[in-house]
Amino acid sequence: MPSSLQATVTEVKTCTWVHFTCHGVQNPVDPTKSFLQLYDTNLDLDSILQTSLPNSEFVFLAACQTAKGDIELVNESLHLGGLYCWSFKAAIGTMWTMMDEDGPIIAEGVYGLSSEVRARIDKVGDTAEALQIAVRKLWDSGVPYERWMPFIHIGV
């Protein structure tokens, strides 16, 4: 995917499923200024919220702090993951910093499921189960809980 802001937004408009692997930065003062750090610029929530995404279904935010909320709004979904659900039907994000090596493990678990499981998980509404299976694989590998706990699913 292109790294410039306009090229990225243009590409995202055409996609049903989108995957970002980059740094995420939460702005606790103004969550709409939270952003995903692209190669040469930042993709903030204002840019996404002002963009019509008619095809959007699912976004995987393999970035740190994409579902970390505001300290004053701990029970609200005012964060990168929650706001992406305004355009996308479902999102996978992280509540705090994740280990770089865990992103590919979780992504492989979500996207590379066995054929019998993949036959059931072919809709955006099934991505929560896919994440649960992926996190369980990480958990079963014996890594400390802080490595598998950051990942959450938001939406349908």
- Asked if pLDDT for residue 149 goes beyond 80, the answer is yes
Q: What is the pLDDT of residue 97?
A: 82
Can you give the CATH number for the domain in which 121 is found?
Answer: 3.40.50.1460
- Is residue 131 within 8 A of residue 91, CB to CB? The reply is no
Mean pLDDT of 48-73: 72
Read off the pLDDT of residues 102-135 as tens digits, 9 standing for 90 and up. Answer: 988 899 888 876 455 556 555 777 888 889 989 9
- Flag whether pLDDT at 143 surpasses 90: yes
Total of domains in the chain = 1
Given a cut of 60, is residue 42 above it in pLDDT?
yes
Residue 127 to residue 117: CA distance in whole angstroms: 11
Q: Which domain holds residue 130?
A: 5-155
Element housing 31 (H / E): none
Tell the burial category of 104 from Cβ atoms under 10 Å away from its Cβ (0-12, 13-18, 19+): exposed
Predicted TM-score (pTM) of this structure: 0.79
Express each pLDDT in 61-113 by its tens digit: 887 655 555 555 444 444 566 656 667 888 888 888 888 889 888 998 888 76
Residue 1 confidence class, pLDDT cut points 50, 70, 90? very low
- Per-residue model confidence (pLDDT) at position 110: 86
On the CB side of 1, how many CA atoms lie within 13 Å of its CA?
Answer: 21
Alpha helices (runs of H) in the chain, residue ranges in sequence order: 5-14, 45-49, 80-84, 102-111, 115-120, 127-140, 145-148
